[in-house]
Amino acid sequence: MTSSAADKVLGFSNHGDNGSPSRTEDSGKRWALLVAGSRGYSNYRHQADVCHAYQILKRGGLEDENIIVFMYDDIASNPENPRPGVIINRPNGTDVYRGVPKDYTGDNVNPENLYAAILGNRSALNGGSGKVLNSGPNDHIFIYYSDHGSPGVLGMPAGGHVYAKDLIDVLKKKHASKGYKSMVLYVEACESGRIFEGLLPDNLNIYATTASNAEESSYGTYCPGEEDVPPEYSTCLGDLYSISWMEDCDKQDLHKETLGKQYEIVRRRTNTSHVMQYGDMSHRHEFLSTYMGEAHTIKDSHTSPSISSVNISQSDADLLHFQYKFQRAPAGSHQKLEAQKQLHAEIAQRKQEDYKINQIGELSFGNQKSSQVLMNVRPSGQPLVDDWDRLKMFVRTYENFCGILSTYGIKYTQAIANICNAGVIKEKMVAVKLVLKHPNSSYGSS
């Protein structure tokens, strides 16, 4: 049966939509790309967020062929998961993992595959299902990204970082190829405003919102220690910005609520960071259904507008996870010993990264000027760095000598960008080698 014939048989015509719920009233298709950019049980919330987003889109009538999912897929069957095979996104919530397509998992969740999927370039893919945004000039695209971030960077579990300039260049190329009519991006990450600040033009028909501005963390929620969170969960179940927009979708008629209205609702509920918006503001007047389909409210939707009592900075969520595991493990048990080792290793890693960056700053600029340079934040409207290739080269240099930046240490891309902006040449990054040759013996010890 052809697509048009199927549409006639199904007879979808709710709220003026033309034909299949996969299509909008202007006969364009709805497409979605969902990305959880982390791995590990302590990052449970990112994959839970993405799975919940999938359920909203699926309930809205989008077909799996129009939804692309990037997730490492190491949570549902993780030995630490108290409900094997199940992922929830709020306390005592329903299983959001069921039915989620595994398009790109494991090491196939990487920047190159992400860019290829956005551009519809199957030949550039390396692994995965092969699904791409095969969209055209009448189509509408929704992209949601949940992960750790830092100034100008989004995390990935493999293949390096997603840099803001590279992502914006991909979006520009997608626009130039007439690959969509309009696009909406929701980004959950620390300093996520810096992904678009001074970089996203307002003439690409793209509207973006972020969990935080260019200088602050985003926050996990439904975390261990909160009254409603089952004690067997040692990790946050969701992210505050993310569950705010998704729980709003669960209880609203998406044909009646606009993007702008949802932005205001999410901004008010996300009280630990400043939710931001960028790009073409004319799309604020469009209904959510243009991008998320005809989803109807669900009976067990979380209707309370209350704020969770425990919201944890994304950069501290790992630390909370290990602390909670250690506190709950039986005294004298093997689990207690292992949790203690993990906690001490996390603390030592943080101290090492603090020490190395501070030493690089002092060796590059001197003791008096170092802090001023490293902590500088450019004014609103300016991009993070003048030369993005130099930034990437400096990050590679650091990671080659000092190790991959952790979910805590990734925040130091701001300091590395400042080093680039100050005109430090690559040769001066031998400071990294000096740090490694002469480590502070007090760091890294338990």
Instruction: Please identify every residue annotated as catalytic.
Output: 148, 190
Residue 421 CA to its chain's centroid (Å): 26
3-state helix, strand and coil shares in percent for the chain, rounded to the nearest 5: 45, 10, 45
Report the C-alpha gap between 99 and 87 in whole angstroms: 12
| Residue 77 burial (C-beta neighbours within 10 Å; 0-12, 13-18, 19+) | exposed
Query: How many beta carbons lie within 10 A of that of residue 47, not counting itself?
Result: 30
354 close to 257: Cβ distance less than 8 angstroms: no
What 3 state SS string does 397-443 have? HHHHHHCCCCCCHHHHHHHHHHHHHCCCCHHHHHHHHHHHHCCCCCC
Report the C-alpha gap between 328 and 321 in whole angstroms: 11
DSSP 45-107: HHHHHHHHHHHHHHHTT--GGGEEEE----STT-TT-SSTT---SSTT---S-TT---SB-GG
Report the C-alpha gap between 440 and 442 in whole angstroms: 5
- Answer left, alpha or beta for residue 228, where phi above 0 means left and psi between -120 and 50 means alpha: alpha
162 close to 395: Cβ distance less than 8 angstroms: no
